Amino acid sequence: QDYKCGAGEEHMACEVDPTLQIRATTSAKWYGAPGPMFCAPKSVVPKAPKWNYGSPWCDPNVARDTNMTTDEYFAYLNDPNSDCRDYAGQKAGGFELCNGEACPNNAAPAFGREARTNVEGCCYW
């Protein structure tokens, strides 16, 4: 993972910070809308999940605390028994692992990029 740019675009490059942790916010409110983007070191989120827009269903009659620090959010994210706290008004959907393992993204062999299974250093989307 790097943020190196080609000739003429060096001014847009930045150093990778493997310790950076971010949890964004979202304005998405439709049924199954994905949770906000996040990044964290492998030591904090060792297995990158993927978003399942159809499951779980989030009962609108159940109050859920979505106001969390990044540490609290990553603890929630790593807890397989906790759901529907990714954002206020969440109707459905949640992060899940792939057969109990991290979910790889798509490889980009044309750019020399292997599939990744973590979000370490992926904070500048």
In angstroms, how far apart are the furthest CA atoms of the chain? 55
Q: How many folded domains does the chain comprise?
A: 1
Q: Which two tokens stand for residue 84?
A: 């529907």
Asked if pLDDT for residue 103 goes beyond 80, the answer is: yes
* Residues of the domain holding 61: 20-125
In the prediction, which pLDDT does 121 show?
82
The answer to whether residue 122 sits within a structural domain is yes
Q: What is the pLDDT of residues 48-94, one digit of tens each?
A: 999 999 999 999 999 999 999 999 999 999 998 899 999 999 999 99
Q: Give the pLDDT band (50/70/90) at residue 125.
A: low
The proportion of the chain whose per-residue pLDDT surpasses 90, expressed as a percent, equals: 66
Query: What gap in Å lies between CA 56 and CA 40, rounded to an integer?
Result: 24
Contact present, 77 and 35 (Cβ < 8 Å): no
Asked if pLDDT for residue 37 goes beyond 70, the answer is: yes
In the prediction, which pLDDT does 4 show?
72
The answer to whether residue 15 sits within a structural domain is no
- Mean of all residue pLDDT scores within the chain: 90
The answer to whether residue 1 sits within a structural domain is no
The answer to whether residue 88 sits within a structural domain is yes
